[in-house]
DNA sequence: ACCTGAACACCGTTCAAGT
DNA sequence: ACCTGAACACCGTTCAAGT
Protein backbone atom coordinates (compact mmCIF):
# COMPACT_ATOMS: atom_id res chain seq x y z
CA UNK A 1 0.00 0.00 0.00
CA UNK A 2 1.64 3.27 -1.16
CA UNK A 3 2.76 5.82 1.41
CA UNK A 4 2.35 9.44 0.28
CA UNK A 5 5.64 11.23 -0.39
CA UNK A 6 6.66 13.45 2.52
CA UNK A 7 9.15 15.54 0.53
CA UNK A 8 10.49 16.10 -2.99
CA UNK A 9 13.79 16.18 -4.86
CA UNK A 10 13.50 19.95 -5.18
CA UNK A 11 13.03 20.37 -1.44
CA UNK A 12 16.04 18.11 -0.79
CA UNK A 13 18.28 20.07 -3.18
CA UNK A 14 17.11 23.41 -1.75
CA UNK A 15 17.75 22.21 1.80
CA UNK A 16 21.13 20.93 0.68
CA UNK A 17 22.09 24.34 -0.71
CA UNK A 18 21.12 26.09 2.49
CA UNK A 19 23.02 23.64 4.65
CA UNK A 20 26.07 23.73 2.37
CA UNK A 21 26.35 27.51 2.65
CA UNK A 22 25.53 27.58 6.36
CA UNK A 23 27.72 24.69 7.54
CA UNK A 24 30.26 24.14 4.79
CA UNK A 25 30.85 20.99 2.77
CA UNK A 26 31.68 18.93 5.86
CA UNK A 27 28.39 19.97 7.43
CA UNK A 28 26.41 18.71 4.47
CA UNK A 29 25.62 15.29 5.89
CA UNK A 30 22.87 13.00 4.69
CA UNK A 31 21.37 12.90 8.18
CA UNK A 32 21.35 16.72 8.36
CA UNK A 33 19.68 17.12 4.95
CA UNK A 34 17.13 14.44 5.78
CA UNK A 35 16.24 16.15 9.05
CA UNK A 36 15.77 19.47 7.22
CA UNK A 37 13.10 17.94 4.97
CA UNK A 38 11.47 15.89 7.73
CA UNK A 39 12.63 12.37 6.87
CA UNK A 40 15.45 10.01 7.88
CA UNK A 41 18.72 9.62 6.03
CA UNK A 42 17.99 6.24 4.41
CA UNK A 43 14.91 7.71 2.70
CA UNK A 44 17.09 10.19 0.80
CA UNK A 45 18.35 7.27 -1.25
CA UNK A 46 14.88 7.00 -2.84
CA UNK A 47 15.58 10.31 -4.61
CA UNK A 48 19.38 10.61 -4.98
CA UNK A 49 21.90 7.91 -5.80
CA UNK A 50 24.37 8.98 -3.10
CA UNK A 51 25.90 12.09 -1.55
CA UNK A 52 27.96 12.90 -4.65
CA UNK A 53 24.75 12.87 -6.69
CA UNK A 54 23.10 15.29 -4.26
CA UNK A 55 26.15 17.54 -4.52
CA UNK A 56 25.93 17.44 -8.30
CA UNK A 57 22.28 18.49 -8.20
CA UNK A 58 23.12 21.35 -5.83
CA UNK A 59 25.90 22.58 -8.14
CA UNK A 60 23.62 22.36 -11.17
CA UNK A 61 20.91 24.41 -9.47
CA UNK A 62 23.41 27.10 -8.47
CA UNK A 63 25.09 26.93 -11.89
CA UNK A 64 21.78 27.57 -13.66
CA UNK A 65 21.26 30.69 -11.57
CA UNK A 66 24.79 31.89 -12.32
CA UNK A 67 24.40 31.31 -16.06
CA UNK A 68 21.13 33.28 -16.06
CA UNK A 69 22.74 36.19 -14.18
CA UNK A 70 25.64 36.27 -16.62
CA UNK A 71 23.30 36.31 -19.61
CA UNK A 72 21.47 39.23 -18.08
CA UNK A 73 24.66 41.13 -17.23
CA UNK A 74 26.27 41.24 -20.67
CA UNK A 75 23.77 43.44 -22.45
CA UNK A 76 25.40 46.86 -22.75
CA UNK A 77 26.41 46.38 -26.38
CA UNK A 78 29.93 47.54 -25.50
CA UNK A 79 32.28 44.53 -25.19
CA UNK A 80 34.54 46.21 -22.66
CA UNK A 81 31.64 47.22 -20.43
CA UNK A 82 30.14 43.76 -20.87
CA UNK A 83 33.41 42.25 -19.69
CA UNK A 84 33.39 44.39 -16.56
CA UNK A 85 29.74 43.50 -15.92
CA UNK A 86 30.45 39.78 -16.34
CA UNK A 87 33.39 39.89 -13.95
CA UNK A 88 31.34 41.73 -11.34
CA UNK A 89 28.42 39.34 -11.68
CA UNK A 90 30.77 36.40 -11.27
CA UNK A 91 32.30 37.92 -8.14
CA UNK A 92 28.93 38.78 -6.64
CA UNK A 93 27.73 35.21 -7.12
CA UNK A 94 30.88 33.83 -5.49
CA UNK A 95 30.58 36.12 -2.48
CA UNK A 96 26.94 35.16 -1.99
CA UNK A 97 27.57 31.43 -2.46
CA UNK A 98 31.17 30.92 -1.35
CA UNK A 99 30.91 27.25 -0.43
CA UNK A 100 29.02 26.38 -3.59
CA UNK A 101 31.45 28.42 -5.68
CA UNK A 102 34.46 26.63 -4.20
CA UNK A 103 32.96 23.24 -5.06
CA UNK A 104 32.08 24.31 -8.61
CA UNK A 105 35.76 24.82 -9.34
CA UNK A 106 37.13 22.07 -7.13
CA UNK A 107 39.01 19.02 -8.29
CA UNK A 108 36.52 16.21 -8.66
CA UNK A 109 37.77 14.64 -5.44
CA UNK A 110 34.29 15.32 -4.14
CA UNK A 111 33.08 13.30 -7.11
CA UNK A 112 30.49 15.87 -8.16
CA UNK A 113 30.76 17.48 -11.58
CA UNK A 114 28.46 20.19 -12.92
CA UNK A 115 26.46 19.62 -16.08
CA UNK A 116 28.75 20.53 -19.04
CA UNK A 117 25.84 22.28 -20.77
CA UNK A 118 25.69 24.73 -17.88
CA UNK A 119 29.41 25.42 -18.10
CA UNK A 120 28.95 26.15 -21.77
CA UNK A 121 25.96 28.43 -21.16
CA UNK A 122 27.92 30.32 -18.50
CA UNK A 123 30.84 30.78 -20.93
CA UNK A 124 28.81 31.98 -23.91
CA UNK A 125 28.52 35.67 -23.04
CA UNK A 126 32.20 35.89 -22.13
CA UNK A 127 33.22 34.25 -25.40
CA UNK A 128 31.13 36.80 -27.27
CA UNK A 129 32.80 39.76 -25.54
CA UNK A 130 36.24 38.14 -25.95
CA UNK A 131 35.69 37.68 -29.68
CA UNK A 132 34.90 41.37 -30.08
CA UNK A 133 37.90 42.50 -28.05
CA UNK A 134 40.57 40.02 -29.10
CA UNK A 135 39.39 38.99 -32.52
CA UNK A 136 37.70 35.71 -33.44
CA UNK A 137 40.94 33.69 -33.81
CA UNK A 138 42.12 34.52 -30.30
CA UNK A 139 38.73 34.44 -28.60
CA UNK A 140 39.24 31.12 -26.77
CA UNK A 141 42.64 32.05 -25.31
CA UNK A 142 41.37 35.53 -24.46
CA UNK A 143 38.26 34.21 -22.69
CA UNK A 144 40.38 31.70 -20.79
CA UNK A 145 42.80 34.38 -19.69
CA UNK A 146 40.00 36.55 -18.35
CA UNK A 147 38.12 33.76 -16.62
CA UNK A 148 41.36 32.41 -15.14
CA UNK A 149 42.14 35.84 -13.70
CA UNK A 150 38.60 36.33 -12.37
CA UNK A 151 38.42 32.87 -10.83
CA UNK A 152 41.90 33.19 -9.36
CA UNK A 153 41.17 36.59 -7.87
CA UNK A 154 37.85 35.47 -6.39
CA UNK A 155 39.11 32.20 -5.00
CA UNK A 156 42.08 33.92 -3.38
CA UNK A 157 39.75 36.55 -1.97
CA UNK A 158 37.43 33.87 -0.56
CA UNK A 159 40.38 31.94 0.85
CA UNK A 160 41.60 35.08 2.58
CA UNK A 161 44.85 34.98 0.60
CA UNK A 162 45.12 38.76 0.16
CA UNK A 163 47.01 39.49 3.33
CA UNK A 164 49.32 42.29 2.25
CA UNK A 165 46.65 44.92 2.73
CA UNK A 166 45.44 47.29 0.04
CA UNK A 167 41.93 47.84 -1.24
CA UNK A 168 40.60 44.56 -2.65
CA UNK A 169 37.72 46.20 -4.51
CA UNK A 170 40.13 48.57 -6.17
CA UNK A 171 42.47 45.70 -7.05
CA UNK A 172 39.54 43.95 -8.74
CA UNK A 173 38.68 47.07 -10.74
CA UNK A 174 42.35 47.54 -11.67
CA UNK A 175 42.60 43.89 -12.71
CA UNK A 176 39.56 43.76 -14.95
CA UNK A 177 40.65 46.99 -16.63
CA UNK A 178 44.15 45.61 -17.22
CA UNK A 179 42.77 42.30 -18.48
CA UNK A 180 40.44 43.99 -20.94
CA UNK A 181 43.39 45.93 -22.33
CA UNK A 182 45.59 42.85 -22.30
CA UNK A 183 43.38 40.82 -24.62
CA UNK A 184 42.70 43.73 -26.95
CA UNK A 185 44.41 44.10 -30.28
CA UNK A 186 47.05 41.90 -31.91
CA UNK A 187 48.86 39.34 -29.79
CA UNK A 188 52.35 40.18 -28.64
CA UNK A 189 53.20 36.48 -28.72
CA UNK A 190 55.86 35.30 -31.12
CA UNK B 1 60.31 3.31 31.86
CA UNK B 2 60.73 5.16 28.52
CA UNK B 3 59.92 3.39 25.29
CA UNK B 4 62.21 4.34 22.38
CA UNK B 5 60.49 6.43 19.69
CA UNK B 6 59.50 4.32 16.70
CA UNK B 7 59.07 7.23 14.32
CA UNK B 8 59.49 11.01 14.05
CA UNK B 9 57.48 14.09 13.16
CA UNK B 10 59.43 14.40 9.90
CA UNK B 11 58.59 10.84 8.93
CA UNK B 12 54.93 11.44 9.73
CA UNK B 13 54.78 14.62 7.63
CA UNK B 14 56.62 12.95 4.74
CA UNK B 15 54.27 9.96 4.85
CA UNK B 16 51.34 12.36 4.99
CA UNK B 17 52.50 14.16 1.86
CA UNK B 18 52.87 10.91 -0.04
CA UNK B 19 49.45 9.68 1.02
CA UNK B 20 47.81 13.04 0.30
CA UNK B 21 49.08 13.03 -3.28
CA UNK B 22 48.39 9.32 -3.83
CA UNK B 23 44.93 9.07 -2.27
CA UNK B 24 43.62 12.63 -2.13
CA UNK B 25 42.56 14.60 0.93
CA UNK B 26 39.86 12.08 1.84
CA UNK B 27 42.44 9.29 1.77
CA UNK B 28 44.65 11.10 4.27
CA UNK B 29 43.31 9.36 7.37
CA UNK B 30 45.07 9.21 10.71
CA UNK B 31 44.98 5.40 10.64
CA UNK B 32 46.55 5.35 7.16
CA UNK B 33 49.37 7.75 8.09
CA UNK B 34 50.04 5.83 11.29
CA UNK B 35 50.29 2.55 9.39
CA UNK B 36 52.76 4.12 6.94
CA UNK B 37 55.16 4.98 9.77
CA UNK B 38 54.62 1.71 11.65
CA UNK B 39 52.49 2.85 14.58
CA UNK B 40 48.77 3.03 15.47
CA UNK B 41 46.59 6.10 15.01
CA UNK B 42 46.39 7.13 18.69
CA UNK B 43 50.19 7.45 18.86
CA UNK B 44 50.13 10.16 16.20
CA UNK B 45 48.61 12.46 18.80
CA UNK B 46 51.95 12.44 20.67
CA UNK B 47 53.42 14.41 17.75
CA UNK B 48 50.55 16.39 16.17
CA UNK B 49 47.63 18.09 17.85
CA UNK B 50 45.06 16.75 15.42
CA UNK B 51 44.50 16.09 11.71
CA UNK B 52 44.30 19.81 10.87
CA UNK B 53 47.69 20.29 12.50
CA UNK B 54 49.18 17.48 10.40
CA UNK B 55 47.70 19.08 7.30
CA UNK B 56 49.23 22.41 8.26
CA UNK B 57 52.66 20.82 8.64
CA UNK B 58 52.30 19.12 5.25
CA UNK B 59 51.37 22.43 3.58
CA UNK B 60 54.29 24.21 5.27
CA UNK B 61 56.76 21.59 4.05
CA UNK B 62 55.47 21.84 0.50
CA UNK B 63 55.28 25.63 0.74
CA UNK B 64 58.93 25.86 1.76
CA UNK B 65 59.90 23.85 -1.31
CA UNK B 66 57.79 26.06 -3.54
CA UNK B 67 59.26 29.26 -2.08
CA UNK B 68 62.79 27.94 -2.66
CA UNK B 69 61.99 27.03 -6.28
CA UNK B 70 60.55 30.47 -6.91
CA UNK B 71 63.61 32.19 -5.46
CA UNK B 72 65.79 30.12 -7.74
CA UNK B 73 63.65 30.76 -10.81
CA UNK B 74 63.64 34.55 -10.79
CA UNK B 75 67.31 35.19 -11.49
CA UNK B 76 67.53 36.29 -15.12
CA UNK B 77 67.84 39.98 -14.28
CA UNK B 78 65.10 40.71 -16.82
CA UNK B 79 61.77 41.32 -15.03
CA UNK B 80 59.67 40.06 -17.92
CA UNK B 81 61.69 36.85 -18.24
CA UNK B 82 61.60 36.49 -14.44
CA UNK B 83 57.83 36.76 -14.55
CA UNK B 84 57.58 33.99 -17.14
CA UNK B 85 59.96 31.81 -15.11
CA UNK B 86 57.96 32.38 -11.92
CA UNK B 87 54.69 31.47 -13.61
CA UNK B 88 56.20 28.30 -15.07
CA UNK B 89 57.71 27.28 -11.74
CA UNK B 90 54.38 27.80 -10.05
CA UNK B 91 52.58 25.68 -12.62
CA UNK B 92 55.16 22.91 -12.48
CA UNK B 93 54.83 22.70 -8.71
CA UNK B 94 51.04 22.53 -8.96
CA UNK B 95 51.14 19.76 -11.55
CA UNK B 96 53.56 17.74 -9.43
CA UNK B 97 51.63 18.31 -6.21
CA UNK B 98 48.03 18.81 -7.31
CA UNK B 99 46.33 17.74 -4.08
CA UNK B 100 48.71 19.77 -1.94
CA UNK B 101 48.34 22.75 -4.24
CA UNK B 102 44.55 22.64 -4.04
CA UNK B 103 44.66 22.65 -0.24
CA UNK B 104 47.17 25.52 -0.14
CA UNK B 105 44.63 27.79 -1.82
CA UNK B 106 41.51 26.26 -0.31
CA UNK B 107 39.08 27.98 1.99
CA UNK B 108 40.06 27.16 5.53
CA UNK B 109 37.16 24.73 5.83
CA UNK B 110 39.84 22.09 6.21
CA UNK B 111 41.10 24.20 9.09
CA UNK B 112 44.72 24.15 7.96
CA UNK B 113 46.46 27.42 7.15
CA UNK B 114 50.01 27.76 5.83
CA UNK B 115 52.60 29.77 7.74
CA UNK B 116 52.18 33.44 6.68
CA UNK B 117 55.98 33.83 6.55
CA UNK B 118 56.06 31.24 3.78
CA UNK B 119 53.38 33.04 1.82
CA UNK B 120 55.43 36.20 2.11
CA UNK B 121 58.63 34.45 1.03
CA UNK B 122 56.84 32.95 -1.95
CA UNK B 123 55.53 36.39 -2.97
CA UNK B 124 58.82 38.26 -2.68
CA UNK B 125 60.30 37.48 -6.08
CA UNK B 126 57.03 38.23 -7.83
CA UNK B 127 56.70 41.56 -6.06
CA UNK B 128 60.20 42.45 -7.19
CA UNK B 129 59.44 41.69 -10.83
CA UNK B 130 56.07 43.46 -10.57
CA UNK B 131 57.69 46.58 -9.16
CA UNK B 132 60.08 46.74 -12.11
CA UNK B 133 57.34 46.21 -14.68
CA UNK B 134 54.46 48.20 -13.20
CA UNK B 135 56.28 50.77 -11.12
CA UNK B 136 56.59 50.78 -7.34
CA UNK B 137 53.19 52.40 -6.64
CA UNK B 138 51.29 49.76 -8.57
CA UNK B 139 53.41 46.77 -7.59
CA UNK B 140 50.90 45.25 -5.16
CA UNK B 141 47.94 45.41 -7.56
CA UNK B 142 50.16 44.20 -10.41
CA UNK B 143 51.51 41.25 -8.44
CA UNK B 144 47.98 40.34 -7.34
CA UNK B 145 46.72 40.47 -10.88
CA UNK B 146 49.45 38.14 -12.11
CA UNK B 147 49.16 35.66 -9.25
CA UNK B 148 45.37 35.66 -9.55
CA UNK B 149 45.65 34.81 -13.23
CA UNK B 150 48.27 32.12 -12.65
CA UNK B 151 46.39 30.52 -9.77
CA UNK B 152 43.10 30.68 -11.66
CA UNK B 153 44.60 29.14 -14.77
CA UNK B 154 46.31 26.37 -12.84
CA UNK B 155 43.37 25.52 -10.63
CA UNK B 156 41.05 25.36 -13.64
CA UNK B 157 43.55 23.19 -15.45
CA UNK B 158 43.82 20.85 -12.46
CA UNK B 159 40.04 20.76 -12.10
CA UNK B 160 39.71 19.81 -15.76
CA UNK B 161 37.73 22.97 -16.46
CA UNK B 162 39.28 23.62 -19.90
CA UNK B 163 36.85 21.58 -21.91
CA UNK B 164 36.53 23.62 -25.07
CA UNK B 165 39.68 22.15 -26.58
CA UNK B 166 42.69 24.14 -27.71
CA UNK B 167 46.30 23.85 -26.61
CA UNK B 168 46.51 24.44 -22.86
CA UNK B 169 50.29 24.97 -22.88
CA UNK B 170 49.93 27.57 -25.58
CA UNK B 171 47.10 29.26 -23.67
CA UNK B 172 49.40 29.48 -20.65
CA UNK B 173 52.18 31.05 -22.72
CA UNK B 174 49.70 33.46 -24.31
CA UNK B 175 48.32 34.38 -20.90
CA UNK B 176 51.62 35.12 -19.19
CA UNK B 177 52.71 37.21 -22.14
CA UNK B 178 49.46 39.19 -22.08
CA UNK B 179 49.65 39.63 -18.31
CA UNK B 180 53.21 40.93 -18.46
CA UNK B 181 52.12 43.50 -21.02
CA UNK B 182 48.99 44.30 -19.05
CA UNK B 183 50.82 45.40 -15.92
CA UNK B 184 53.47 47.33 -17.80
CA UNK B 185 53.47 51.07 -18.09
CA UNK B 186 50.99 53.58 -16.72
CA UNK B 187 47.61 52.35 -15.55
CA UNK B 188 44.64 52.83 -17.85
CA UNK B 189 42.42 53.13 -14.79
CA UNK B 190 40.73 56.42 -14.14
C1' DA C 1 5.63 3.35 -3.15
C1' DC C 2 7.79 5.53 0.50
C1' DC C 3 9.62 5.44 5.10
C1' DT C 4 12.03 3.42 9.13
C1' DG C 5 15.38 1.30 12.76
C1' DA C 6 19.11 -1.56 12.98
C1' DA C 7 23.33 -2.64 11.32
C1' DC C 8 28.00 -2.37 8.90
C1' DA C 9 32.31 -0.47 7.84
C1' DC C 10 34.40 3.41 8.20
C1' DC C 11 36.14 8.13 10.46
C1' DG C 12 38.79 11.42 14.36
C1' DT C 13 39.82 11.42 18.95
C1' DT C 14 40.28 10.14 24.06
C1' DC C 15 41.99 7.46 27.71
C1' DA C 16 43.36 4.03 30.85
C1' DA C 17 46.65 0.53 30.79
C1' DG C 18 50.97 -1.50 29.24
C1' DT C 19 56.31 -1.29 28.65
C1' DA D 1 58.21 8.69 27.36
C1' DC D 2 55.97 6.35 23.88
C1' DC D 3 52.72 2.96 22.31
C1' DT D 4 48.37 0.28 22.44
C1' DG D 5 43.36 -1.69 22.42
C1' DA D 6 38.98 -0.40 23.57
C1' DA D 7 35.64 2.87 23.33
C1' DC D 8 32.80 7.03 21.86
C1' DA D 9 30.41 9.85 18.76
C1' DC D 10 30.16 10.55 14.40
C1' DC D 11 29.93 9.42 9.00
C1' DG D 12 27.66 7.12 4.26
C1' DT D 13 25.14 3.39 2.93
C1' DT D 14 22.34 -1.10 2.84
C1' DC D 15 18.45 -3.77 3.90
C1' DA D 16 14.71 -6.18 5.87
C1' DA D 17 10.48 -4.88 7.80
C1' DG D 18 6.62 -1.74 8.35
C1' DT D 19 2.47 1.00 6.30
Q: Which DSSP string corresponds to chain A?
A: -PPPPS--HHHHHHHHHHHHHHH-GGG--HHHHHHHTTS-HHHHTTT-SSHHHHHHHHHHHHHHHHHHHHHHH--SS-HHHHHHHHHHHHHHHHHHSHHHHHHHTS-GGG-----HHHHHHHHHHHHHHHHHHH-GGGHHHHHHHHHHHHHHHHHHHHTT---S-S-HHHHHHHHHHHHHHHHSSS----
A39: nt with nearest C1' to CA = C3
Q: Among the listed ranges A75-89, A105-119, B153-167, which one has the minimum average pLDDT value? A: A105-119
Model confidence at A112, pLDDT cuts 50, 70, 90, reads confident
**Subunit contact A187:B177, Cβ cutoff 8 A:** yes
Distance CA A180, CA A171 (A): 14
CB of A155 under 7 A from strand C?
no
Q: What residues of A are in contact with residue B169 (Cβ under 8 Å)?
A: none
What's chain B's average pLDDT?
A: 92
Which residues numbered 86-115 in B keep a CB inside 8 Å of some CB on A? 98-99, 102, 105-109
Distance CA A43, CA A12 (A): 11
Sequence-separated (6 or more) residues with CB below 8 Å from residue A44: A12, A30, A33, A34, A54
Distance CA B157, CA B154 (A): 5
CB of B29 under 7 A from strand C?
yes
**Range 48-107, chain B: CB under 7 Å to any strand C atom:** 50-52
Q: What residues of A are in contact with residue B148 (Cβ under 8 Å)?
A: 149, 152-153, 156, 175
Model confidence at B87, pLDDT cuts 50, 70, 90, reads very high
**Subunit contact A178:B177, Cβ cutoff 8 A:** no
- More confidently predicted of B166 and B81: B81
Amino acid sequence: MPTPARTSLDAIVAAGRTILEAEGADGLTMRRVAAAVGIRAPSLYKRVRDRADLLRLILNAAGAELAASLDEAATTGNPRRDLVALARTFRTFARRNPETYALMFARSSEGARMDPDLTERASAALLRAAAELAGPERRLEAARTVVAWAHGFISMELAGAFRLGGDVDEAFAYGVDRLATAIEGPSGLR
